[in-house]
Structure 1
Amino acid sequence: MSSQDVDLAILGSGSGAFAAAIRATTLGKTVLMVERGTVGGTCVNTGCVPSKALLAAAEARHTAADADRFPGISATTGPVDMPELIEGKQTLVEGMRTEKYLDLMTDYGWQLRQGQASFTGSQQDPALQITTDDGAVETVHSSHYLVATGSTPTIPEIEGLDGVDYLTSATAMELDEVPASMLVVGGGYVGLEQAQLFARLGTQVTMLVRSRLASTEEPEAHEVLAEVFAHEGIEVVPRALITKVTTDSSNDEVMVTATVDGDEQTFTAQQLLVATGRHAVTGGLNLDTVGVATGVRGEVLIDETLATSNHRIWAAGDVTGHPQFVYAASAHGGLAAENMFTNTKRSLDYTTLPRVTFTSPNLAAVGMTDAQAQAAGYRCQCRVLPLEYVPRAMVNRDIRGFIKIVADADNDRILGITAVAKEAADLAATGVYIIQAAMTLDQVANLWSPYLTMAEGIKIAAQSFTTDVSKLSCCAA
């Protein structure tokens, strides 16, 4: 057993962990990072990078199949070579992991331990006990600690679920063949993306959704996405409460029993994908030993500076239960290192945190929804602009979607923007700047905006509060 002292010991190696390590080393601090799995965390290994790579591939196939929406254009698609698709995805993941994670550790010069870590000692004198993959045991004393262990898929308690070979968002992206059929449980961003991904690869997909699609966003998003999914052959079953899961012994298909609007129904498919959210990974860390408080879902409780109930231990990213976006985790990590070593006591403002679901068309939002604004006490005014009034959508031959603006009726300040549209993710970025600057409807309505861009749609949506946009010339808005 050995012991050593460092300035910062980090549990985890995802985006929050790396942001903290980079900031700490630039401040001249020594850093030790402990990872029990694959370096890089969820985003690069099983989340953002692989899922969006496969979504892009599926969209390329769908674009070819849907080419006849343009007069005079036709294309055909063949069967998917799933092993080659997955191999290509994995090559991309490994390249990014090497370049953006492993190589950076060498560049910045911090240490890495591969193995299991847990807290030991006391609240007054916390330490880490690390059992490395080669069996060595090491005790590390650090001036500060950062818990950045991320999150993992939440598996609901459903009768019989533990007896079937179900998929999660991670394992679904390792399949070596395209399933003939799939049941997707959950209507959040993971369920939405995975359902469309497999449908576009050739799977017959049915979604079982407890309430509606994207239930935390504007209700118009559900309406449009449900219509888009129906057009692509995806069956969406809202208000489905799953009661039992079994395996049909005659064909090895999964059978799901659910109550739908009071009636019991049975659904069968070759594969079952569970996409019912994620929860913090804190098991085995012995947080209570060093006085770190956790919440009802196991998340590490932090104050606005990202400090835990132990003043030497901080937390960042998904493990805190805060918004589960890689850019939020990264911001957490850098801020935590800044606060622990410079005592600046800075905090993050989530008011303009953008939210994107990479369906096609995208669902993207920033700021408050209509319901959230009203709950916050605002007297709201809203407009929903159908994409048929956005010239970019018209030339794309794809007017499925909308742009919605929520504004304060007392001063016309824009409080929220939601869009379902091609490239709506970029609209969310534009919305960040608009809401951060506290811009009004009149200001946005009179901004310069390049013609035939989707961003022009935000300007037209702002104009719709005072103008009949159906009477506007397409080139003279």
Structure 2
Amino acid sequence: MISSLTNGCQRGVPGVDATISGMTCPECARTVAAAFKRAGATNVAVDWRRGGARVDGNLSEAELAAALEETKYTVTGVARCGEQSARTDGAFDGAGRDHDLIVLGSGGGATAAAIRARDLDHTVLVVERGTIGGTCVNVGCIPSKNLLVASERHERRLADAVTAKELLVERLRQSKYVELLEEYEIELRHAQAELIDPHTVSLDGELVSAGAIVVATGARPAIPRIPGLEDAGYLTSTSALELREPPLRLAVIGANAVGLELGQMLGNFGSEVTFLARNTVAPRSEPEASVAIRQVLLDQGHTVLEHARTSRVSVEGGEKVLRGHLEGGVTFEIRTDAILVATGRAPNSDGLGLERVGVQTDECGCIVVDEHQRTSIASIYAAGDVTTQPQYVYVAAAGGAAAAENALAEGSERLDFTALPRIIFTKPQIAAAGLTEADARSAGFEVETSVLPLAALPRALVNGDTRGVVKLVAETGGGRLLGASMVANGAGDVILAAVLAIQHGLSTDQLASSWAPYLTMAEGLKLAAQTFKRDVAKLSCCAA
């Protein structure tokens, strides 16, 4: 019973494994854990089913027994860590364990892992400490895009849009997560999870074990350390979605996907928005895309400050005041009613016991995984925003499924990000796939590019909206397509064609000679490919 609980002491943490009689339920485990903590234990994990507890600290057997004197439980044996058999660090070994797989989290990555495990006919326990469904359905993709669409209609108040958003979120959470877990007969537990060893997890003090574990706990908004920010108060991507009245003035710290989308959304509902970009607007996009969307924001009446460093925030006369400097030392002062912090996301990796077990993380706390979703511990896998991989829900889902396959079926599934699509849902949208020009050059490719203004695209002319650009990056010589970017209404729906072209190694000549339906935004890819060798302005409107 105790053998699987000795990992902590092997890594230099003093502690004991105690055998305890009288426990019959999870509440028993919580009572025992609380008693040991009151006695001075630094960490306690109790397994009521097996009648044991792992107690970190320097408590003696007498002290442990005394801690339970006023309960119905009795310490019947104590072994110092290391006196029992050592942990097993191997891969999947479900023999004698409570479950085949334990999944920490219940978002896109976690649910995909759980479903794949059930497809493989394995037992699964999903553990969630908060609201089921994770970021995307609750406080991310679904609600933010729903409010964006509502804001573009200019036909309802923000409060009405938020009410409609909440109904949509509840419906999708129920149908895509809660009911799916029931459909697949996946057990769900609401608890705080903490790894004890490579096969054991503490759930609020109760120990459960599995042959393999997948960590998919997601991420949360990252908050920069700016003096005065906490005292002044701020919005995040989560709390901004709950506003029922738009602030008169809004300062957005950060101008990538979250900042641009939510800033534009609140601007559509009436806020006067100032964007403060640490570098450029949409900094991971092609420069041409960044310039295009910056101009859109300016045309909408917003203020954009690039290369802005906010050094202090204060509250003066009921206003929030941001002070800092721009490139060249020019100072700025922004007076506003609300501040939206959109400076990235931090992994939900703290408090999981990763260090105790030996799971490697990077300097930001992200779990380091290889291409097969494996962590530094053979039986523990990870997926989604808690890892070092790109933070997109479709990456999380693919990673979760691969993790379960590889953990339970000795599979070799891997994620290939060569043609990964990225979309910022502003209006117009920014969509990209594959490498940017800068990334391609950094990777050692010799490249050539084509840039097509949207004014050269018939669909844009018909729409009366030529804001945007299409850019292709190709390898010099053979013309193999390496990357594509597009700023246009509907760019997100077009980018899958570029994903397939990159994924299957198409050349720009092949793309230029492909069928492209006339008067569609997708025709922009064909025209941009033709631009490598000819001036499309001198072609008929639907020339091959």
- Do they superpose with TM above 0.5? yes
Q: For 1:365 and 1:5, how far apart are their aligned partners in 2?
A: 44
Q: Describe how 1:294-309 pairs up with structure 2 within 5 A.
A: 294-309=361-376
Q: For 2:358 and 2:375, how far apart are their aligned partners in 1?
A: 9
Q: Describe how 1:100-115 pairs up with structure 2 within 5 A.
A: 100-115=176-191
Pairwise CA distance, 1:217: 1.3
Q: For 1:82 and 1:210, how far apart are their aligned partners in 2?
A: 29
Find the partner of 2:195 among 108, 119, 125.
119
In structure 2, the residue matched to 1:81 is: 157
Q: Describe how 1:35-184 pairs up with structure 2 within 5 A.
A: 35-61=128-154, 80-120=156-196, 122-123=197-198, 126-131=199-204, 137-184=205-252
Find the partner of 2:385 among 315, 318, 334.
318
Supply the AA of the counterpart residue of 1:107.
E
Find the partner of 1:256 among 322, 337, 345.
322
Aligned residues of 2:469 and 2:486 also touching (Cα < 8 A)? yes
In structure 2, the residue matched to 1:279 is: 346
Task: Answer with 252-261 or 45-54: which moved more.
Answer: 252-261
Task: Answer with 42-51 or 418-427: which moved more.
Answer: 418-427
Find the partner of 1:288 among 355, 368, 375.
355
In structure 1, the residue matched to 2:71 is: none
Aligned to 2:467, the other structure's residue is in SS state coil
Supply the AA of the counterpart residue of 2:202.
Q
Pairwise CA distance, 1:223: 0.8
Aligned to 1:16, the other structure's residue is in SS state helix
Pairwise CA distance, 1:475: 2.5
Pairwise CA distance, 1:82: 2.3
- Count residues in correspondence: 450
Pairwise CA distance, 1:419: 0.4
Aligned residues of 2:369 and 2:388 also touching (Cα < 8 A)? no
Pairwise CA distance, 1:389: 0.9
Aligned to 1:25, the other structure's residue is in SS state helix
Aligned residues of 1:182 and 1:206 also touching (Cα < 8 A)? yes
Q: For 1:93 and 1:273, how far apart are their aligned partners in 2?
A: 22
Q: Considering only CA atoms, is the larger Rg found in Structure 1 or Structure 2?
A: 2
Runs of 4+ in 1 over 4 A off after TM superposition: none
Aligned residues of 2:157 and 2:269 also touching (Cα < 8 A)? no
Pairwise CA distance, 1:346: 2.1
Aligned to 1:169, the other structure's residue is in SS state coil
Pairwise CA distance, 1:441: 1.3
In structure 2, the residue matched to 1:214 is: 282
Pairwise CA distance, 1:321: 2.1
Q: For 1:476 and 1:383, how far apart are their aligned partners in 2?
A: 19
In structure 1, the residue matched to 2:99 is: 6
Aligned to 1:157, the other structure's residue is in SS state coil
Aligned to 2:191, the other structure's residue is in SS state strand
Aligned residues of 1:279 and 1:321 also touching (Cα < 8 A)? no
Pairwise CA distance, 1:85: 1.3
Pairwise CA distance, 1:348: 1.1
Query: What's the CA shift string for 1:323-356, capped at 9, x where partnerless?
Result: 0000000000000011011112221110011000
- Which stretches in structure 1 are left out of the alignment for 5+ residues? 62-76, 132-136
Q: For 1:27 and 1:379, how far apart are their aligned partners in 2?
A: 44
After TM superposition, the score normalised by the length of structure 1 is: 0.93
Query: What's the CA shift string for 1:176-195, capped at 9, x where partnerless?
Result: 21111100000111111011
Aligned residues of 1:119 and 1:287 also touching (Cα < 8 A)? yes
Aligned residues of 1:384 and 1:403 also touching (Cα < 8 A)? yes
Aligned residues of 1:199 and 1:233 also touching (Cα < 8 A)? no
Q: For 1:36 and 1:336, how far apart are their aligned partners in 2?
A: 21
Aligned residues of 2:109 and 2:398 also touching (Cα < 8 A)? yes
- Which stretches in structure 2 are left out of the alignment for 5+ residues? 1-28, 30-47, 50-96
Aligned to 1:199, the other structure's residue is in SS state helix
Pairwise CA distance, 1:392: 0.6
Aligned to 1:406, the other structure's residue is in SS state strand
Q: For 1:170 and 1:12, how far apart are their aligned partners in 2?
A: 18
In structure 1, the residue matched to 2:434 is: 367
Q: For 1:415 and 1:290, how far apart are their aligned partners in 2?
A: 40
Identity across matched positions, percent? 45
Find the partner of 2:396 among 300, 322, 329.
329
CA RMSD of aligned residues (A): 1.1
Find the partner of 2:448 among 376, 381, 385.
381
Aligned to 1:173, the other structure's residue is in SS state helix
Pairwise CA distance, 1:111: 0.7
Query: What's the CA shift string for 1:103-157, capped at 9, x where partnerless?
Result: 001100011111211112x45xx311112xxxxx421011111100001111011
Query: What's the CA shift string for 1:61-97, capped at 9, x where partnerless?
Result: 2xxxxxxxxxxxxxxx6xx522221111000000000
Supply the AA of the counterpart residue of 2:323.
T
Find the partner of 1:353 among 420, 424, 429.
420
